[in-house]
Structure 1
Amino acid sequence: MNAITKITPDIQTQIIEAFNFRHATKVFDAERKIDAAAFQTILEAARLSPTSFGHEPFKVLVIQTPEKRELFREYSWGANGMMSGSTGQLGTASHFGIILASTAQTMTAGSDYLQDHYRNVKNLPDEVIEIFNGAYGKFQATDHDITTDRQISDWAGKQAYIVLANMMTAGALMGIDSCPIEGFDMARTTETLRDHFGVDTASWKPAVMFAFGYRAKDPEFPKTRRTMAQTVSWF
């Protein structure tokens, strides 16, 4: 594949069609499953997503075991079907999961985790690592003032949302439906991840849930958005 893809009107049309196709699917066709290769493409879109400083402060958990999914049902009102009179995305999605966001334990400037990331993931030489440490330290301490655990976790959560957006767009381009889900109890989800999934919740916190599959029916209402003039200002 060429490093640079030729942009054509056909590609532009496909992109807009994919965004018009995508909607927050509340109930999926439980009998239809996403092909393994197609979902691998969605995961690859996640892995290749951009993140601030290239720190990749996220991890994707794919939860396919029905019993494991049910652990979240009581307190995940956005996924348990309460608003749709069904078993919700937990019960009907082909693929369901959670994106985790890093905490201050790993994402504080100068952490051992980041030094290892610079050396063994980004393959940076020591002199460049020193530059990264200084720039990221300034970014945290003064530019954006994100120094507490909550602030750093929220910043990492922003990166997780970039990842999920790319996953959903990749899915839509393949005709696969999706839903981002924030309707869950954060504290109880964190406890469940620690007690039943072995997640080190000192290092990782849940950012957002996701569901992928094929819609059970088309949306009842057309997609609505503000006009371009209301959305974008040019100067």
Structure 2
Amino acid sequence: MNSSATKERVLEAFHFRHATKAFDPTRKISENDFRFILETGRLSPSSNGLEAWKFLVVQNSELREELRPFAYGAYNQLPTASHMVVILARKGLIPESPYIYEQLTKVKKYPAEMVRNNVGAWHEFFDSFHLDNERARTAWASKQTYIALGNMMTSAAMIGIDSCPIEGFVPDRVNEILEKRGLLGDDEYEVSVMVAFGYRAKEPRDKTRRTMEQVSEWI
């Protein structure tokens, strides 16, 4: 593999990517390309490998319209994006959580006895990050979703697909709409962030960023 060519290609993708405010509604992402994007989200790292997320691919036009009044940051993207993803964060994570036990034993393939014996270590971890209430634990899970978000946007840019991360929405109302449709499980999830994918309707202005010297320090 030519590392210089790979680095150049990655940087080209980062320069290509911008927060697309309106997409060309006549252009749709192929199923193969979008499954590639989702796969990069699925393969993303998460704290302790818990994968405390779920990706809702919202293609239902009625649901998009229902969300639109409460998603001001996605007002233009919801009707024009080829694909809209609502990323959910898992709630109710405690050391004794059935989800954690299942994830570690069934997915990570750790011995059940080892998992049970490490509950004390999990309590220490939760205490060290002050995860002593449900709000804090859900916020911790929500932080993990941004890793998957970034990876999906980067992988999309590398194949010429545009995206826009969206935090401009009313969480309580969005959760209410999703819960009404049975999309949050048994009170297992809540909305963390949204991201729209498609093809830009017009070219963006040149990318601007602070200098490397302003944003980094070598010690």
C-alpha displacement of 1:128 = 3.3
Matched with 1:120 is 106
Q: Output aligned runs, 1:1-235, within 5 Å.
A: 6=1, 8-80=3-75, 88-103=76-91, 105=92, 107-130=93-116, 132-141=118-127, 143-200=128-185, 202-219=187-204, 221-235=205-219
* Runs ≥4 residues deviating over 3 A: none
TM-score (norm 1): 0.90
Contact 1:60–1:97 (Cα < 8 Å) also in 2: yes
CA gap of 1:76–1:125, structure 2 versus 1, over 3 A, is same
Residue identity over aligned pairs, in percent, reads 44
How far does residue 168 in structure 1 lie from its aligned partner after superposition? 0.2
Aligned residues: 219
Unpaired segments of 5 or more residues in structure 2? none
Gaps of 5+ in 1: 1-5, 81-87
Please give the alpha-carbon distance, in whole angstroms, between the structure 2 residues aligned to 1:197 and 1:10. 46
The residue matched to 1:205 in structure 2 has which SS? strand
- Root mean square deviation, CA, Å: 1.3
